[in-house]
Structure 1
Amino acid sequence: MNNQQNRNLNKLVKIALLSAIAVVLMYFDFVIPFIPFAWLKIDLSDVPALMGAFAFGPIAGVVIELLKNLLILVVKGSETMLVGQLANFIVGCALVVPAAWVYHTNKSKKTAILGMILGTICIEIVGILANIYILLPAFGMGNMPKDELIKYVTIGLLPLNGLKAILVSVITYILYKRVSVSIFQVDSNFNKVEKRKLKSI
């Protein structure tokens, strides 16, 4: 097995591991007391996805988001006729992809923070649009009266997705800085210069 194959195998193993961790985290979802919609819950399964996207690029983040939702279907099933898993995937990608894309333009603390800010903005916009045009209709709530829809968006989706993005971003920033070097040291083809760059994240 050549060096490139070793790198690809290591990458796949790490993506699979992060996906498995994300599935475990999906079991620990919780409601926000001040949000009056019981079905709107937060979990931290986007943390492994964002870490993987920072490490390997936006596509890896999308793969982790996809795998975790497929795996949770296998081990737990769906109580929402797949709507919950679709929502989790769409909203997760809305946060992870922009954040990783900005970060990979020039890896630094600044681009990581800017990327997560952009991801937070995107999760808010995409979350609203996806709910109005895809998720609510799929769940049989497409005819929600306008005033109820506005209430759902303003005191439900906006605070929920905003809080989720902040929690995921802060936890990822703290953890990724500490574990990135150990993750990449597994691959001996990373030279000392690259490792110094990783330590400066």
Structure 2
Amino acid sequence: MLNEEAILKREKHSTAVSVRKIAVIAVLSAMAGVLMSLEIPLPFLPPFYKFDFGDLPAMLGGFALGPISAVAIEALKVFIKMLIKGSTTLGIGDLTNFLVCCAFVVPAAFIYRANKNRKMALVGMTVGTIVMTVIGDFLNAYVMLPFYAMAFHWPMDKLIAMGTAVNSHITNLNSFVLLATTPLNLIKGIVVSVITFALYKRVSPILHGRAK
């Protein structure tokens, strides 16, 4: 009898945790989708490269709930953003955003999960920023930019020229990626990491359902 009661209690607790986790993911995803929609143009980057804070909720969720939850938040973020604003890149940029941002939050969440302290949070986000930058450069050079040019029937030179217009040192695809894609991802990684580092311990009790 006691064993049955213990099992029932564990099942109820597990169900409650699952429901709360789904609710937290839903709220963070909604926040991420809205933040992704609030794009900020940067004067030293081409007009189709914009900064947003959409990865902040995903990083917070990854630290609190794990890397799989971070991926779910990233996926829902992109979906919500497309519902709000649609896609100006036929979904190419949105898919690239999902992959690149997962490359940021997943390594960070995995590393932090191994030892949950401030040092590992910094290490995780630093590694995540580096991985995101490398993956972002590769995907933009070989997937997004070529597909973007093909989808809109633009020669690659026209895309390069949009970079040259804001930075005269951008003269070809390699310099475009180095001087436009790389800075965008580094800026995003650093800014989101700094804000996450400042906020996480304050919001962690809420994310874990321990707020008083």
Whether TM-score is above 0.5 comes out as yes
Following the alignment from structure 2 to structure 1, what is the Cα–Cα distance between the partners of residues 209 and 77? 25
RMSD value, Cα: 2.0
Please give the residue correspondences for 1:34-183 in structure 2 after superposition, counting only pairs within 5 Å.
34-35=44-45, 37-140=46-149, 144=156, 147-183=171-207
List 4+ stretches of structure 1 deviating above 3 A: 141-147, 185-188
The normalised TM-score by structure 2 is: 0.82
Q: Which moved more, 1:84-93 or 1:42-51?
A: 84-93
The normalised TM-score by structure 1 is: 0.87
Any unmatched runs of 5+ in structure 2? 1-10, 161-170
Who wins on radius of gyration, i.e. which is larger? 2
- Report how many residues are paired: 187
Following the alignment from structure 2 to structure 1, what is the Cα–Cα distance between the partners of residues 177 and 99? 16
Following the alignment from structure 2 to structure 1, what is the Cα–Cα distance between the partners of residues 21 and 126? 26
For residue 139 of structure 1, give the secondary structure of its aligned residue in structure 2: helix
Q: Is the 8 A contact 2:141 2:177 kept in 1?
A: no
| Same amino acid, percent of matched pairs | 42
Q: Which moved more, 1:138-147 or 1:44-53?
A: 138-147
Following the alignment from structure 2 to structure 1, what is the Cα–Cα distance between the partners of residues 85 and 181? 25
Any unmatched runs of 5+ in structure 1? 189-201
1:134-191 CA distance string (max 9 Å, x none): 2122212697469510221121011111001001111111111211023323499xxx
Following the alignment from structure 2 to structure 1, what is the Cα–Cα distance between the partners of residues 107 and 209? 26
Q: Is the 8 A contact 2:137 2:178 kept in 1?
A: no
1:99-149 CA distance string (max 9 Å, x none): 101000111111100000000110110001111222122212697469510
What one-letter code is carried by the residue in structure 2 that aligns with 1:4?
Answer: S
